[in-house]
Amino acid sequence: MVVARVVSILREGEPESKVTARGWVRTRRDSRNGFSFIELNDGSCLKNLQVVVDAAVPGYEQTIRQVTTGSSVSVVGVLKESPGKGQRVELHAESLELIGTADPAEYPLQKKGHSMEFLRDIAHLRPRTNTFGAVARVRNQICWSIHSFFQKRGFLYLNSPIITTSDCEGAGEMFQVTTLDLSMLAQRQIDQINWKHDFFGKPASLTVSGQLEAETYATSVGDCYTFGPTFRAENSNTSRHLAEFWMVEPEMPFYELPDNMDLAEEFIRSIVNDVLEHCGEDMEFFAQRIDKGVMERLETICSREFMRVPYTEAVEIILQSGREFEYPIEWGSDLQTEHERFLTEEHFRQPVILYDYPRTLKPFYMRCNDDGRTVRAMDVLVAGVGEIIGGSQREERLDVLEQRMQECGLDPAEYWWYTDLRRYGTVPHSGFGLGLERAVLLITGMANIRDVIPFPRTPGHAEF
């Protein structure tokens, strides 16, 4: 007899074989002729295992009433071909052990559908629902695909630091890390703070990106990628922003911008294909219950080349569209999600890579174009999400880089190790960052980024 997970029982369990299944009860139904049916789920797949419990099973009378939604049980029994629709086999119990009860008067997940907002308030229990189980499995698959995409291509996985003293994106949106007594600090002027007394001897923060460190390795050991948590203290309450999110950042020496675009495009397509191949049942669920258009969007991504459009042209298109947008736009202004979604969902109707953005919009490290106005930036835009990837060719010329740093209010001396890469054996190089949660949004069709990370952190919210 084997203890098996529901996914393998449903897929390959042999009729007449004996198995033990354990998990949480989704529902119980009692028939009038001395049977109970339990829908058992253990999170290994979307489907439940149907368990048939005969009243003759030892202890039936004493336990069956407590086998309620949310309780945990262990069942030993024999698999039988299922006469019912929707499953190949069902489990006929020989013994039933109630492991943990769940008081029906208190257990918050009852049979009826719950709103996403309600489920966010019980983020510790929401993985027991179909939707959040499916999101967890797809997210897991995406992480696996990310690693396998890069590992297959010989990229080195680099663990960049979480605590840092540099501001990669230069936006000043960083969470400070300090051991100074904040209640004491509150009574002082900022210039009275002696950072020498702080843990690191100078102001430190949670990282907004592992890119700068990845550049040091890319220009030493070659193609590499970081993949880890990233933090942004930006006060944006949108369905696309988190204060803590996961980002994968590849960095490649000798890549110029078009090479970077090729890789980004291949990367997204490879993740989508992997999920379609390995998470078929969960994807069917998303297509039926969450977003009817999700499959079509993913097919477009897999089958069409991404459009490549300079920023300047994109602004022209938006201006000439005659559409009313909430945020007006002119050359030099940042594209908002509404503009990005207009371009990819309505105008081009396929993924778009915008490139050559105004230098004033982008961080110091992007390579300057000869026009003096734009930098070799690229943003990949997809339907339903907007920007999913941001990246660039990096400035490899020391003098231009130092000038750009000064322009951006950074002191090159503070970034001496970063500028050293241009001092010793500099090479053209490029990279990009993909937000993991934006990828999960794209692939599942879920509407809010708070629902594709287990425990979302947003302004005012850090429960669990």
With 0-12 CB in 10 A as exposed, 13-18 as middle and 19+ as buried, what is 56? exposed
Which of the choices ligand 4AD, Mg ion, none does residue 249 contact, using the CB cut-off of 5 to 8 A by kind?
ligand 4AD
Q: Is 390 in the site for Mg ion (CB under 5 A)?
A: yes
211 binds ligand 4AD (CB under 6 A): yes
Is there a contact between 456 and 450 (Cβ–Cβ < 8 Å)? yes
Question: Taking the CA atoms of the chain, what radius of gyration do you get in angstroms?
Answer: 27
Is there binding between residue 391 and Mg ion (CB under 5 A)?
no
Q: 375 near 369, Cβ under 8 Å?
A: yes
- Residue 446 engages ligand 4AD in binding (rule: CB under 6 A): no
Distance between CA atoms of residues 132 and 144, nearest Å? 18
Binds ligand 4AD (CB under 6 A): choice among 253, 351, 431, 445: 431
Furthest C-alpha separation in the chain = 85
Residues 24-83 that bind ligand 4AD (CB under 6 A): none
- Smallest distance, Mg ion to C-beta of residue 169, A: 8
The size of the interface with Mg ion (CB under 5 A), counted in residues, is 1
Pick the closer one to Mg ion by CB: 13 or 390.
Answer: 390
**Residue 388 binds to ligand 4AD (criterion: CB under 6 A):** yes
d(CA 98, CA 63): 7
Distance CA 299, CA 315 (A): 27
Q: Does 363 bind Mg ion (CB under 5 A)?
A: no
How many residues belong to the chain?
464
Residue of closest CB approach to Mg ion: 390
- Contacts of residue 387, defined as CB under 8 A and 6 or more positions apart, other chains included, come to 337, 340, 379, 380, 381, 438
163-164 and 204-206 beta bridge pairing = antiparallel
Q: Minimal distance in Å, beta carbon 430 to ligand 4AD?
A: 8
Of the candidate residues 41, 209, 344, 444, the single one contacting ligand 4AD (CB under 6 A): 209
Contacts of 165 (CB under 8 A, 6+ apart): 200, 202, 203, 204, 205
438 binds, among Mg ion, ligand 4AD, none (CB under 5 to 8 A by kind): ligand 4AD
Interaction partner, residue 351 (Mg ion, ligand 4AD, none; CB < 5-8 Å by kind): none
Please identify which residue in 90, 213, 223, 249 interacts with ligand 4AD, judged by CB under 6 A. 249
Question: Could you give the CA distance from residue 216 to residue 77 in angstroms, rounded to a whole number?
Answer: 58
**Residue 50, contacted partner among ligand 4AD, Mg ion, none, CB below 5-8 A by kind:** none
Near ligand 4AD by CB under 6 A: residue from 53, 79, 138, 242: 242
Q: Which stretch binds ligand 4AD (CB under 6 A): 128-136, 153-161, 234-242, 306-314?
A: 234-242
Q: State which of residues 67, 247, 271, 452 lies at the interface with ligand 4AD (CB under 6 A).
A: 247
CA distance 52 to 16: 14
Q: How far is the CB of 334 from ligand 4AD (least distance, A)?
A: 11
Count of residues that bind ligand 4AD according to CB under 6 A? 24
Q: How far is CA 392 from CA 150, 208, 232, 314, 355, in A?
A: 18, 16, 20, 18, 9
With the CA atoms of 51, 277, 132 and 66 taken in that order, what torsion angle do they form, in degrees rounded to the nearest 10?
10
Residue 276 vs 361, nearer CB to ligand 4AD: 361
Judged by CB under 6 A, does residue 437 bind ligand 4AD? yes
Contact positions toward ligand 4AD, by CB under 6 A? Answer: 168-169, 209, 211, 232, 234, 241-242, 245, 247, 249, 387-392, 431-435, 437-438
Interface ranges with Mg ion (CB under 5 A): 390
